[in-house]
């Protein structure tokens, strides 16, 4: 038997196993991907991306949104020079526009629209001249539906509101894509060394490599990792296996939810009090 025939026979055998395998839930899909990775059918990068795709269907806008207290906004009453300084300092391309009372998001300003306006030598600028409508979504909007919204409507930013119609944050198409393919950096990104990011008074995202000491100091807890040094290691011990995105565990007064993991480790954790 030639080498080519042997390879084809092996491939057909793998396909038969895949299609004979009855998938009942998402866990079965993860198991199938793990087996494919173990048999060198897919590489590490492909596995991580496929697991990222699956995780998107289990997460909501609230899980990835930038909280309101960290949003960079412009005021409705801002003049051109004031807005330009904000654009240059932040390096962002889109900005929520606040109403005069600062309690409402009335639109989105794009940096390119601002510059186009200046290029036309307009004598004065009103924010309403360059502002675009803001897309408003609830915190509970699933990320897979949100990604479809972004693609269909060609929006790159959405404003997130709670059940009382209060603005709680914003989310961009980049945030959703990074959940699938990993962090997307460009030459203007600032390296962020913070392992713990606050999203609200009782919601945080935590890098799994955060040490137990750092975690305890931040959350004023007294977690004992035993032989583990990181919060990811502690949770591995609690789950007794590699948890999948969406898996939850309560330790003391804290609720942990896995936001991102692969077949080898936990990556990002949500912590809620």
Q: Where are the domains of the chain?
A: 3-42, 64-177, 192-272
> Does residue 212 have a pLDDT over 50?
yes
Sorting pLDDT into bands at 50, 70 and 90, what band is 243?
A: confident
Higher pLDDT, 124 or 237: 237
As a whole number, mean pLDDT of residues 221-230 equals 78
* Structure tokens given for 248: 């939850």
User: How do residues 75-101 score in pLDDT, each as one tens digit?
Assistant: 988 888 888 888 888 878 899 999 887
Q: What is the pTM of this model?
A: 0.62
* Distance, CA of 197 to CA of 63 (rounded, Å): 12
* Structure tokens given for 129: 């001249």
Q: Which CATH architecture has domain 64-177?
A: Roll (3.10)
Topology match between the domains 64-177 and 192-272? no
Rounded to 5°, angle at Cα 262 from 269 and 65? 40
Say if CB 270 and CB 259 are below 8 A apart: yes
User: How do residues 155-192 score in pLDDT, each as one tens digit?
Assistant: 899 999 999 899 999 999 988 888 887 766 554 444 45
Topology of domain 192-272 in CATH is 3.30.465
């Amino acid at each position: 038997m030639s080498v080519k025939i042997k390879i084809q026979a092996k491939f057909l055998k793998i396909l038969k196993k895949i299609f004979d395998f009855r998938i009942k839930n998402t866990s079965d899909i993860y198991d199938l991907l793990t087996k494919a990775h173990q048999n060198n059918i897919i590489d590490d990068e492909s596995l991580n991306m496929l697991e990222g795709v699956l995780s998107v269907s289990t997460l909501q806008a609230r899980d990835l949104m930038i909280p309101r207290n960290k949003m960079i906004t412009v005021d409705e009453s801002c003049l051109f020079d004031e807005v330009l300084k904000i654009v240059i300092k932040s390096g962002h391309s889109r900005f929520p526009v606040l109403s005069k009372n600062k309690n409402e998001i009335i639109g989105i300003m794009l940096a390119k629209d601002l510059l186009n306006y200046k290029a036309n030598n307009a004598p004065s600028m009103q924010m309403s001249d360059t502002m675009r409508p803001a897309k408003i979504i609830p915190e509970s909007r699933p990320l897979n539906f949100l990604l479809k919204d972004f693609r269909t409507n060609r929006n790159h930013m959405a404003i997130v509101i709670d059940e009382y119609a209060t603005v709680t944050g914003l989310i961009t198409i980049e945030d959703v894509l990074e959940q699938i393919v990993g962090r997307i950096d460009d030459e203007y990104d600032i390296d962020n060394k913070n392992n713990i990011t606050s999203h609200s008074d009782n919601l945080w995202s935590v890098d799994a490599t955060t040490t137990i000491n750092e975690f305890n100091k931040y959350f004023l807890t007294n977690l004992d990792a035993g032989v583990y040094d990181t919060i990811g290691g502690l949770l591995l011990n609690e789950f007794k296996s590699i948890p999948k995105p969406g898996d939850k565990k309560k330790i003391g007064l804290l609720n942990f939810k896995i936001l991102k993991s692969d077949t080898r480790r936990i990556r990002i954790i949500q912590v809620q009090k």
